[in-house]
Structure 1
Amino acid sequence: MEPEIVEPPLSAHEQALIRASVSVVEPFAAEMTVYFYAILFARYPEVRPLFPQAMDAQRGRLLRALLRIVDLVDDPESLVRFCGHLGRDHRKFGTLGAHYPAVGECLLASLAHYAGPAWTAEIAAAWTKAYGTVAGVMISAAEQDEAVRPAVWPATVVHRLPRGHGIVEITVRPHLPYEYAAGQYVGVETPWWPKLWRSYSPANAPREDGTLTFHVRAVPGGSVSGALVHRASVGDVIRLGPPQGDMVLDAAAHSDLLLVAGGTGLAPIRALVEEVARRGGRHQVDLFLGARTSAELYGVDDMLRMAQRHHWLTIRGAVSQEHIPGIRGSLPDVLAEYGPWYQHDAYLSGPAQMVVAATKALTLGGTSPDRIHHDPFETPVLSLP
């Protein structure tokens, strides 16, 4: 259950003041986040251990969350939902209710610093009210969450399997029961990079033995992905944050499903296929796998075996940079060729460019936007749909 807003909603005038002030500081957004964390750690050094040593990614998350909150100031229901997600997720960092006033003080000081003469007492009052609302929702959500589940789940690596092209399949067993839905994603922290969290989608529906399998590709400069691919071995213990995301089967209104996967985006799509099987195959599923070359169509053999077992599952490939009879073309082109899909619920997972292009193709083909499901292009801890 989402917490209720703890303060009156902002008036239209207050919303306008907040948006106007953001437009003033937006050109200095990157510098402002650096300034914010500098004064936060200087004034309240006790909060520094909550954050990773490398702060670049964290600054970006703060900015995205701030802009998202501003975007939702006139939509109280969505604002409560978003801030509730943030409050629950912040538990894994060790955030306490006592930390919120410090953050609010430094946030307003940063906004005032970069707004300059445009910062007025009226704008400060509007931001104080807005931050009080956001902090109240986050604290309430965290308290409710604390009553029913842990903040983090230690999990032991029990299996490791290279899948080629820099991808490794890692299976972990949480030390405590871990409830999630197929299609969701999970924050992962490794012992080699404390406080640095990255999100991965389990490639399986919930299992009786409680294990989760992740498909991880080592990306250039990726500390967590590099550690998981090159350093993690059986017996190592990682930590999981709470499951997140709304790309779940219960969101479907139609009995026909269109699943579209590119790269390691196959993981949550595979989990959804398993979930359909767990429910007795009550959906007809068309699955499209996209890649630049046939060699990059990882996991296709596994999915073809699943199609042989399940009559309701049809699989097609789309290869954009290699001529292969039957699977030539980009994903949007192939989707348009086999469509229309307006009587399907569509689930998309993969690189942002692919998701955007596929969404456009489906919308042009008549698919209602509310029937197109995907999670954030990046799934950082502070960026939720």
Structure 2
Amino acid sequence: MSALNPVIGRFLGSVKEDWVDFMLAHVDPMMTVKRVMARVVSIDSETPDIKRFVLKPNKHWQGFKAGQFVSVKVMINGSFHERCYSLVNAPTDNVIELGIKRQANGKVSNWMHDNLHVGDVIELGAVGGDFVLPNVLPSKLLLIAGGSGITPVYSLLAEALKRQADLDVSVVYYVNTDKDLAFANDMVELAVKHPSLKLNYVLASSGEAGRFSQKQLADVCPDFAERSTYLCGPQGLMGAVTKVWADKGISDKLTQEVFGLPAVDPNKP
């Protein structure tokens, strides 16, 4: 019997914690024993299918590094679902921002777009990801993004310029049309404040000029091979960029984030 005591103790402790959280939720859902909860502060549409959710977490939030993602837990029709989403903003003590794209048949992304409102409270899980800046910033930085891959890339951009206001940064952002430019106003504001930032928007709707190639990249960023580069976007873009870097023997200068983090439940996108 004594060997079971630690197991029983942990079980009872879990039951007690869940019960306390259940009772506290009737007073304030932000009050928990350990769980990280966050209240929705604002919701804005960045593009027709991307929304920015600004959240204020409770005291249990441990922070994050620019470029990382966080898991989000929501209840839909009586069942819990968990997904990972990239954080948009540079780390602060006050709020976190998520850029969430509505996915076709995506259970959680569609629910958040249609049902999450200002004032609602959701649960946050673990923070993860190695798509982060080094402690010592490189002298020149190139950020390449495609579509909603701009989400972690913008976080890196904001953090880099926060740490070094005159950092030489070039952003190359590939989208279908100008309506698909997420966080464009934020980036323009950064460019006005930081003249060392160069923004390049590449539209697929412009034809051949809107397709990635080594020549196209060199036209907008002639010294790309000399820059520490961060890349996030659709598989086709990432494959093309990776090949160019490999062919030039500069793969060690390229850091990638896999576009479209896998859902915790692979059977329910």
**TM-score under structure 1 length normalisation:** 0.55
- The partner residue of 1:198 within 56, 72, 83 is 83
Matched, 1:263 2:144: no
- Partners of 1:341 and 1:365 within 8 A in 2: no
Gaps of 5+ in 1: 1-149
Q: Is the 2:84–2:262 contact (alpha carbons within 8 Å) kept by the matching residues of 1? A: yes
Q: Secondary structure at the match of 2:228?
A: strand
What is the CA distance between 1:331 and its match in structure 2? 3.0
1:279-294 → structure 2 map (5 Å cutoff) = 279-281=163-165, 283-294=167-178
CA contact (8 A) 1:249 1:272 kept: yes
- How many angstroms does 1:286 deviate by? 0.5
Aligned to 1:158: 41
The corresponding residue for 2:18 is none
Q: Against the structure 1 CA distance between its residues 304 and 366, is the aligned structure 2 distance closer, same or farther, given a 3 Å change threshold?
A: farther
8 Å contact kept, 1:341–1:362:
no
The yes-or-no answer on 1:276 pairing with 2:160 is yes
Tell me the distance in 2 between the aligned counterparts of 1:322 and 1:242.
40
Deviation sequence 1:182-208 (CA, Å, 0-9, x none): 011111122226442221111101113
State the identity as a percent.
28
- Which residue type is aligned with residue 191 of structure 2? A
In 2, the alpha carbon distance for the partners of 1:307 and 1:339 equals 19
- Confirm or deny: 8 A CA contact 2:41 2:118 kept in the other structure: yes
**Given that residues 75 and 81 in structure 2 are in contact (C-alpha distance below 8 angstroms), is that contact kept between their aligned partners in structure 1?**
no
Q: Which amino acid aligns with 1:159?
A: S
- The Cα offsets for residues 36-61 of structure 1, whole Å up to 9 and x where unpaired, read as xxxxxxxxxxxxxxxxxxxxxxxxxx
Higher relative contact order (CA 8 A, sep 6+): 2
Larger radius of gyration: 1
Matches within 5 A, 1:15-34: none
**How is 1:138-217 mapped onto 2 (pairs within 5 angstroms)?**
152-175=35-58, 176-192=60-76, 194-209=79-94, 211-217=95-101
Q: Which amino acid aligns with 1:370?
A: D
State the 1:247 CA deviation: 1.0
**3-state DSSP class of the match of 1:346?**
strand
TM-score (norm 2): 0.76
Aligned to 2:259: 377
**Deviation per CA, 1:287-307, whole angstroms, max 9, x where unpaired?**
011012222223323212211
Residues 252 and 371 in structure 1, CA contact (< 8 A), matched pair in contact too: no
* Cα separation, partners in 2 of 1:335 and 1:366, compared to 1, 3 Å: farther
2:122 to 231, 238, 248: 238
| Deviation, structure 1 residue 252 | 6.8
Any idea what the Cα deviations from partners look like across 1:238-285, whole Å, max 9, x if unmatched? 122221111111177732111011122111111111111221336311
Matched, 1:350 2:233: yes
Q: Which has the larger share of strand?
A: 2
Where do residues 24-173 of structure 1 align in structure 2 (5 Å cutoff)? 152-173=35-56
> C-alpha distance in 2, partners of 1:273/1:307?
11
Change (3 A) 1:298 1:352: same
State the shift of 1:227 in Å. 1.0
Residues 187, 381 of structure 1: 8 Å contact kept? no
Partners in 1 of 2:133 and 2:238 — Cα distance? 18
String of CA shifts for 1:11-34, please: whole Å, max 9, x gaps. xxxxxxxxxxxxxxxxxxxxxxxx
Aligned residues: 228
